[in-house]
Structure 1
Amino acid sequence: MDMDGDWPLPRLNNRFKVDRRPPGSSLSSASTIASTFASLATPVVAEAVQRARELSTQSEAEGFHQLRVAFRKLRALYWAYSPYLGEEATAQATEEFKRLAALAGGTRDWDIAGDLLKSAQASRASIALLVAAAREKRAQAVVHSQTMIKSDDVEVFLNDVLLRAQATLQSRCNDLPIQAFAEARVRLAQRALRKRSRRAARSEAAHEENLHDVRKAGKKLRYLLEFFQPFIKGAHGRTIKELTSVQNKLGQFNDIAASETLIRSASFNEVPPEVVQESLQWLEKQKCRRMRAASRRVRTIAS
């Protein structure tokens, strides 16, 4: 299936069953692998659908950001359950989650780039031209996102793909306990983070790709800990807090690196080339500084 094309969206009469009980009231280490899926997925789906609806009339930065986060969480959840969902079903769903997140992320990326350029403008007045151009790019991204992300289609897609997942899990692991499975998936995510952190730390010079890999692995682990806390032994609040802190540092670096790439790849017909080059030089200096800070945090994880 071409995942960059349209996902088949059957108009289902059934809806993914929403658990109306208070969060955590039905979740315990005695729950089964299959029974926990709906409880974990439902609030994330509800968040994604609500954010998609809001985007049709609103264009606030936070809305686009939270929609992208919701799809990232669903990708992590599908990875966790992939041993029972199967490789093909997992790949199809996660690729569509990724595509939708990218559509929401276009506006968010220009928000970040615009804010960084405003910081540069404080010492380089000429960059004001590029700040204005970035605002226009952001407006174009909003229109594109609103055109491509239809809340009804998103809701039907999510109901369809999650109902299929739930049916598959009920047929394959309806009686298997969640605790050992959840702990095994968390350990695998921990090993992946440690491996990527050590690879990044071994490099004499920091590499953007390695740091990006660490950031993605850290996000996956954090989301899994948040999902599976009711089922696994031990208190993981401190670990989640530490992962969030590391992610913030890596995120600051990623914002600079992504904004530099965004500006290099865009065309600005009304902005003199020397102004664009000036902004890129400023971003490059900021990127080097933030890369050093991010690398220090990664070495801490690796050790």
Structure 2
Amino acid sequence: MDMDGDWPLPRPNSLFKVNRRPADSSLSKASSIASAFSSLATPVVAEAVQRAKALSTESDVEGFHQLRVAFRKLRALYWAYSPYLGEQATAQATDEFKRLAAVAGGTRDWDIAGDLLRTAQACGASIELLVAAAHEKRTQAVLHSQTMIKGDDVEAFLNDALLQAQTTLQSRCDDLPIRAFAEKRIRLAQRTLRKRSRRAVRSETTQEEDLHDVRKAGKKLRYLLEFFQPVIKSGHGRTIEALTSVQNKLGQFNDIAASETLIRSASFKEVPPEVVQESLQWLEEQKCRRMRAASRRVRAISGADGRDLKQ
């Protein structure tokens, strides 16, 4: 269990009404690094605030998922801007984005686990009691997420984080053009992905953690490509397609691996141990199959020439 989920949101030093412009309304090759950050971050912040407020009274599966995605996108953007934001400020913001994403993801994780258990049941596993228990865990996760993610607190924190970042960037890079900076950060993200992909397929036995590292690096690169598309050189369509294909396979594997970990770490007082063990055995078999499929796709982007991830 991630105990970070029990920390309260930090209170902002000041409140700030964000100008919620459309995603690329003012983003162009002539934009400065600072103004580009505002154009990119503002709509993501607006979406996160809107979803956090809606989830205070709703338990929509997709809503929790998209809230987690919004926090992940902000982490990628802050990483891109870390050379100007500074290491400490970047770490403070991204750590909180990560925590909030984990809290929002609790419900989604049990939804995925529940779906997998129902699939196992349909395949003949006698795990009715565990399926019911997982549904109850999902209900508890909703209540926890709603308690920990209060829309007004999220809005105050995100607005303050955005204001601080804007102020810092305006003082450090307000007159610097965005294009060269964006392409440099994308190249660094590409190299990181390629390095992790090669490490993942270097040995005959692929490790779960290596695939997880590839998945995280791939998400970061894809988000950056989507953010900076208006200002970078064209021709990244194939890269995004390749990343999407890899992410789909890695996501299927991650669903299984995360669900297995979730069930192993949970306490099911009303479920006999042999029922839990039967589900874990089924998940282990599925995990091995999906790991092989994910490894094949990772191998395709790990070649020495990096042909699938070239600009």
TM-score, L = length of structure 1: 0.96
The answer for the alignment partner of 1:251 in structure 2 is 251
Q: Does 1:126 align with 2:126?
A: yes
Residues 238-263 of structure 1: per-residue CA shift (max 9 Å, x gap):
21122111101000000000000000
Closer, same or farther: CA 13–212 of 1 in aligned 2, 3 Å: closer
Q: CA deviation at 1:124?
A: 2.7
SS of 1:26's equivalent in the other structure is: coil
Per-residue deviation, 1:25: 3.7
* Counterpart check, 1:42 vs 2:38: no
> Is this contact kept in 1: 2:65–2:104, CA < 8 A?
yes
The 8 Å contact of residues 33 and 173 in structure 2, kept in 1 or not, is answered as yes
1:18 aligns with 2:25: no
Q: What code does the residue aligned with 2:20 have?
A: V
Q: Say whether the 8 Å CA contact 1:11–1:156 is kept in structure 2.
A: no
Post-superposition Cα deviations, 1:248-289, rounded to whole Å, max 9, x if no partner, equal: 100000000000000000011111110000000000000000
Q: CA RMSD, aligned part only?
A: 1.5
Structure 1 distance, partners of 2:295, 2:15, is: 51
Separation (CA, whole Å) in 2 of partners of 1:10 and 1:188: 32
Match of 2:307 in 1: none
Count residues with an aligned counterpart: 300
- Equivalent residue letter for 2:100: L
Q: Which residue of 1 aligns with 2:155?
A: 155
Q: 1:255 to 1:13 in 2, by over 3 A?
A: closer
Q: CA deviation at 1:43?
A: 1.0
CA contact (8 A) 1:84 1:169 kept: yes
Matches within 5 A, 1:141-220: 141-220=141-220
User: CA, structure 1 residues 5+157, in 2 after alignment: closer, same or farther (shift >3 Å)?
Assistant: same
2:108 alignment partner AA: R
**CA distance in 2: counterparts of 1:128 and 1:88, whole angstroms:** 48
Amino acid in the other structure paired with 1:282: W
Distance 2:15 2:66 in 1: 28
1: CA distance between counterparts of 2:23 and 2:273? 54
Give the 3 Å change call, closer, same or farther, for CA 271–7 of structure 1 in structure 2: closer
AA partner of residue 106 (structure 2): G
Letter in 1 for 2:110: W
Structure 2 equivalent of residue 6 of structure 1: 8
Report sequence identity in percent.
Answer: 80
